[in-house]
Amino acid sequence: MLLYRQSRNYYPFQRLSKRQLSLAYTKHEPATPEPGHAPLVIMHGLFGSKQNNRSISKALARDLKTPVYAVDLRNHGDSPHAPTHNYSAMADDVEEFISAHSLTVPTLIGHSMGAKVAMTVALRSPKLLGAMVSVDNAPVDANLKSNFHAYAQGMREIEEAGIKKQGEADMILKQYEDALPIRQFLLTNLIRSPDGGEYHLRIPIKTLSASLDHMGDFPFRDPDEARYDGPALIIRGTKSHYVADDVLPLIGRFFPRFDLKDIDCGHWVISERPEEFRKAVVEFLQEKESKDA
């Protein structure tokens, strides 16, 4: 398979099979790696990319002295596009990524959409992972926040407007989102055409818009049929509604060895409280290593 390389970023263009896509990623390596430490794979949320996890990936690689692979899930960032966008398909891609890079029992970390991908992989391929970290999402069917439908509508307008300045895109998004940090996050999907003319989205916004209802789903219903007995950390924002207290018993049935960490923030845990998030993950994995030793 041919890869285009630029610095530490790898952009695969060949599709592996009818089911699996070869995911783009950035590998963050520690200055002083220590053998025997399991690698990490970290996954972004809806409309995000590996770029969002660059700083935290570097910090985790440094602290845990192991490589951290920040991936772009299908239809996001630099990864290939496909008409199917659901958790089973994304889990296919991630399992193939782990196999293709010969990662031995990695820790899978995911935020929001990425959290459900991590939980899906853990439940259907439990021996593949050494640990799992889910950030502000739960293994349940739930309605997706209406904000995401609004974001999708705003980005579709941007795509159709033929804009030539980023400020024009921001003005469109202001109709749908007041918070500048969230607009800036969404606009990381905006790129200029090679001829230097109009801006366009690097994500297939029509595909993602059509798949929004699937983003509230979860592939597993019965904890008696699928369970992950490995170490699991559930991190939730206390000002977010995605991991309610009444769903904790179900989480315990799917993930009987789970630890819960509450962080005083909203849904965007990693960007709102990066230091608290870093500390929670490092302590969780260091404790796991001490028990395994």
All structural domains of the chain with their residue ranges: 29-141+218-292, 146-212
Whether the CA torsion 236, 238, 244, 246 is positive or negative: it is: positive
Q: What is residue 292's predicted lDDT score, i.e. its pLDDT? A: 77
Q: What is residue 16's predicted lDDT score, i.e. its pLDDT? A: 41
152 phi/psi in degrees, rounded to 5: -65, -40
Beta bridge partners, 132, equal: 108, 232
pLDDT over 60 (residue 131) = yes
pLDDT band at 293 (very low <50, low <70, confident <90, very high): low
Q: What is residue 7's predicted lDDT score, i.e. its pLDDT? A: 31
pLDDT band at 152 (very low <50, low <70, confident <90, very high): very high
**Which tokens hold the place of 221?**
């219903």
- Summarised one tens digit per residue, pLDDT across range 193-239 is 887 788 999 999 999 999 998 899 999 999 999 999 999 999 999 99
- Summarised one tens digit per residue, pLDDT across range 239-258 is 999 999 999 999 999 999 99
List own/partner pairs for 55-58 with CB under 8 A and 24 or more apart.
55/274, 56/270, 56/274, 56/277, 56/278, 57/26, 57/28, 58/28
**Which tokens hold the place of 10?**
């790898």
pLDDT over 60 (residue 128) = yes
Average pLDDT, the chain: 91
- Summarised one tens digit per residue, pLDDT across range 56-79 is 999 999 999 999 999 999 999 999
**Given the structure tokens 């230091």, which residue do they identify?**
275
Residues written for the chain:
293
Can you identify the CATH homologous superfamily of domain 29-141+218-292?
Alpha/Beta hydrolase fold, catalytic domain (3.40.50.1820)
Q: What is residue 195's predicted lDDT score, i.e. its pLDDT? A: 76
pLDDT band at 20 (very low <50, low <70, confident <90, very high): confident
- Summarised one tens digit per residue, pLDDT across range 207-219 is 999 999 889 999 9
Residue in 33, 1, 266, 270 with CA at minimum distance from that of residue 133: 270
Q: What is residue 194's predicted lDDT score, i.e. its pLDDT? A: 81
Q: What is residue 36's predicted lDDT score, i.e. its pLDDT? A: 83
- Give the rounded distance of the alpha carbon of 110 from its chain centre: 4
pLDDT over 50 (residue 9) = no
| Percentage with pLDDT > 70 across the chain | 94
Which residues carry out catalysis? 112, 267
